[in-house]
Amino acid sequence: MNPVLFLLLALLTLTAALTVVLHPKPVHSACALVVTLFVLSVFFVALDAQLIGVLQIVVYAGAIVVLLLFVIMLLNLQMESHAFGPGWVVAAAVGGGLMLAAVLVSQVWWAPGGAGPAVSAEFGYPKEVAQLLFTTYLLPFELTSVLLLVAIVGAVALTKKGLQ
Amino acid sequence: MGVEIAIATAKVLVMVLIILHVMAFGGVYFERKVSAVIQNRFGANRANIFGGILPVNLGVLNTLLADPVKFLLKEDIVPAGADKLLHTAAPILALAPVLVTFAVIPFGDILTVGGRDINLQGAELNVGLLYILAMASLGVYGVVLGGWASNSRWSLLGGIRGSAQMISYEIAMGLSLIGVVLVYNTLDLQEIARAQGGYFLRGWLPAWGILYQPIGFVIFLVAGVAESKRIPFDLPESESELVSGYFTEYSGAKHLMFMMADFVEVVLVSALVTTLFFGGWQVPYLARYGAMGLPGFHFPWGATLALPALLVTLLQIGAFAIKLMFFTWFQVMLRWTLPRFRYDQLMRLGWQGLLPLALVNVALSALVIIWKAGAS
Amino acid sequence: MTPTPISWYLTLSAMLFAIGVAGVVVRRNIIVIFMAIELMLNAVNLTFVAFARALGTMDGQVIVFFVMTVAAAEAAVGLAIIIALFRTRETTNADELATLKW
């Protein structure tokens, strides 16, 4: 990806992420989250992960955030008066966040390797992902399907109004 | 490099701007005329210019030109207490994903012009089918945000109903596509269209997708009509109950965008059904490279009709357009014939009807494929 | 033109992760805390995909597949819990939901 384009999109991602965290209205935070997820999907495609990039939109932006929006509307959450914690918590969080960012960035900024090795033309295609998914990672795959089933049953059980 | 950009731009212009907009606005006129025929009346024959001195009234030109201009010039009313940013963003979020999906739909085979082969598909994505599902899931935001941002109870009700309906039928749509992927082994729509060029019964029956996936076709068509919130699934918009549902509080250009999204989605579902189940741009017995490498018709009874390759491509584009119009007509017919589903009936159909049927379809397709692979 | 070095992607994901962490600590609304957690998960996804590209193997992308699935399951159950809590406590403020005692 062109470095200038990357910088522009990275700026957009960071702005959207900050909006998610800082905006007092939950609906706007959710919309900013959609923007973040969309731009991240663009980055995935730029990193030769086409299947993951499109799945990100289908699963994350298209289902999880819609679920979040549903809950926000169901609970009818408007702008809140106490959106942030007390002042010292905010200061501690900002300070802590900056320190965390500094530590992590200092470790990865000088990561060698440039743009990565040359990979096959099929890198990131569904076929390649499926190849690994059904051989090396078959057990996690089956466990994940059980996990999803448990999550469905659990979500219904938790929100079901009890039998009167 | 510049030529590539010019070609890509030309594809976008031809496909999206010209064909799509004409079909979307022409679709409004088409719908009014077809509904008039069904209801035994003349429809939309009053619009005229110069006070009626011309013997012919405007007809389709009214819907193509005057209607959009009327919408654009209307006052844009934002209800008090509405969230201005989301109120403006919702129609854009409703229309943009639907338009963008057309990038992966192939409207013809390769066009050879000036020694250059142009693949008549906007973007050759290897994950084309998943891209379509992704854009379908993004379409939910237009509905849910439109309903929420209007600060009105009709809109909110329509928005919640609409988004619940859309996400329920997305699942059935996605599962019905798994059968297609199993048969054709690819997610790229142009490859799927090309793979439907074979023949059954010793060259007599074109091997279109519907012969491979009849159940998948039915599920996909029903789910597609439900996704675009057309009657019989138009409870989010139900004109007799919720005024206009989630786009009650929209006027002017924003209302136009919602309506346009409706018709463009009709064309989109037609295009997808055509490409996946009816051969896309394939004309029976017509091939660009026939049995002996000659472009033209190769009839199963032995006759051939050689045609220049350019004419073959144009015939194929024409075939795509005709199939598209047939399915658009079918959806319009469906709208004016069937009554509306009740909400619980709609949800029951989606979750307890289409979803198990789609799973059974996947299992059956897999079994048939394994059996055929074992037999050969 | 030179392609973007992979380390830039890693830097971006580190910053996103830090923003997510700060969000979880600062905000009081449970749903926004949840969104900040999703932000952290996505930052990690970006890291995995970047490293998959840097090392030329597909394992990173398969792990992202699993992270997405687990995040979806977690979102479903977490939001169900929030709705169940809201039914009894009528609030989504994390400070007021902090005690188990009713």
Q: How far apart are CA A64 and CA C74, in angstroms?
A: 10
B163 at interface of A, judged by CB pairs closer than 8 A: yes
With contacts defined as CB-CB under 8 Å, which chain A residues touch C9? Answer: 43, 47
The DSSP-derived string for B87-108 is HHHHHHHHHHHHHHHGGG-EEE
Between the alpha carbon of residue B336 and those of residues B80, B192, B232, the distances in Å are: 36, 32, 9
Contacts of C76 by beta carbon, 8 Å cutoff, 6+ apart:
A67, A151, A152, A154, A155
Q: How far apart are CA B285 and CA B323, in angstroms?
A: 16
Please, are residues B229 and B262 in contact by the beta-carbon 8 Å criterion?
yes
Q: How far apart are CA B304 and CA B291, in angstroms?
A: 10
A86-91 contacts, C-beta under 8 A, 24 or more apart? A89/C25, A89/C26, A90/C26
Please, are residues A61 and A38 in contact by the beta-carbon 8 Å criterion?
yes
Q: How do residues B264-304 score in pLDDT, each as one tens digit?
A: 888 899 999 999 999 888 888 887 775 556 777 777 777 77
Please, are residues C41 and C71 in contact by the beta-carbon 8 Å criterion?
yes
With contacts defined as CB-CB under 8 Å, which chain B residues touch A50? Answer: 125-127
To the nearest whole Å, the CA of B192 is away from the closest chain A CA by 16
Instruction: Give the pTM.
Output: 0.90
With contacts defined as CB-CB under 8 Å, which chain A residues touch B125? Answer: 50
Amino acid at the residue B232: P
Classified as helix, coil or strand, B335 is helix
Q: How far apart are CA A41 and CA A51, in angstroms?
A: 10
- The ipTM value here is 0.91
Residue B38 neighbours by CB distance under 10 Å: 14
Predicted confidence pLDDT, tens digits, chain B (376 residues): 778 888 888 887 877 776 677 777 777 778 888 888 888 888 766 666 666 666 666 666 766 777 778 888 888 888 887 788 888 889 999 999 998 888 888 888 888 777 777 888 888 888 999 999 999 999 999 888 888 887 777 778 788 888 888 989 999 999 999 999 999 988 999 999 988 888 887 777 888 888 899 999 999 999 999 988 787 777 777 655 656 667 777 788 888 888 888 888 888 999 999 999 998 888 888 877 755 567 777 777 777 777 887 888 888 888 888 898 899 889 988 888 888 888 888 899 999 999 999 999 999 999 999 998 887 6
Please, are residues B147 and B246 in contact by the beta-carbon 8 Å criterion?
yes
- Cβ of A49 within 8 Å of Cβ of C61? The answer is yes
Please, are residues B273 and B196 in contact by the beta-carbon 8 Å criterion?
no
**Which residue out of B187, B188, B191, B246 would a mutagenesis test of the A interface target, given it has the greatest number of A Cβ atoms within 10 Å?**
B187
**Which residue out of A19, A64, A90, A141 would a mutagenesis test of the C interface target, given it has the greatest number of C Cβ atoms within 10 Å?**
A64
**Which residue out of C2, C37, C69 would a mutagenesis test of the A interface target, given it has the greatest number of A Cβ atoms within 10 Å?**
C69
Could you list the mean pLDDT of each consecutive 10-residue stretch along chain A, which spans 164 residues?
90 95 90 95 92 94 91 74 76 87 82 72 85 92 95 90 61
Between the alpha carbon of residue A76 and those of residues B91, B231, C97, the distances in Å are: 22, 30, 18
Who among A27, A50, A69 is closest to B127 (CB)? A50
